[in-house]
A = this chain, B = another copy of it.
């Protein structure tokens, strides 16, 4: 997989899943493979395996499994530091519920906040980002959207905690991604951006810009405005369409570079700023459509 990522051309960094991508592997060998293919390690992403964590990782009813989830994350943080990476991404997909009368919501919340505190305190030099997602595998995730996650982070109150915004997750959380990024910057820190696209109903994992190019450009404008200088990670699922992953990634790159350039042009567009100040969408949409696809 690392070799394939290197073959794309244009990729500069990679994320690895822990423990699955590093199980039984020599960490040095992986680090070498990354640098051999011109890739830096951006960070690790925790994956809590089924069936052990089916009924929750940080929120599991069994104290021993909760402890194992936290300790596994701490081991991940140690390996991340050893490999020179600086970002741990937590997608707590099993921490949630499926039924009314399945769980005590306050208990789930307390366990999540205290686990985040413990994980953040394990290595204050490493950033820990929560990647929210509305559902799947659970019908309801405990951290389903930007604002709920910000409430949780606000309680945890650690400077190395923040948020990873996944574009398709944000869409199906009924958010406008640029607005979500603003809320993150206001109440916490934006530590990661997963780019992709979708139809706002589930985690489609489509290539960037193929459904919501204008909303993607707006996100880039906001990212520049809040000074986001982290990695843009493509979280797409070429296998769902039987696509060649290298070609799919090249389309992701081509689209993203173009939309980012268009965002740079619009960032200091005086008439656009004035229209936005008036909340005059008739004008702003005409300016944006002209910039993007030459309309009008």
Contacts and interface: CB of A to CB of B under 8 A. Distances in A.
Interface string A206-240: 11011111110110001000000000000000111
A51 interface: yes
A251 B101 CA distance: 14
Interface residues of A, number: 101
A202 interface: yes
A121 interface: no
A114 interface: no
Nearest to A222: B105
Interface stretch (A25-33, A36-44, A129-137): A129-137
The number of times this chain is found in the oligomer is 4
B100 A214 contact: yes
A282 B150 contact: no
A1 interface: no
Contacts of A247: 280, 282-283
Interface stretch (A83-91, A158-166, A193-201): A193-201
Q: Which A-B residue pairs are the 9 nearest by beta carbons?
A: A254-B296, A55-B242, A54-B242, A258-B295, A147-B147, A147-B148, A247-B282, A100-B218, A105-B182
Interface of A: 50-51, 54-56, 60-61, 97-106, 109, 134-140, 144-148, 150-151, 154, 173-174, 176, 178-179, 182-183, 186-187, 198-202, 204, 206-207, 209-215, 217-218, 222, 238-244, 247-248, 250-251, 253-255, 257-259, 262, 266, 272, 275-290, 292-296
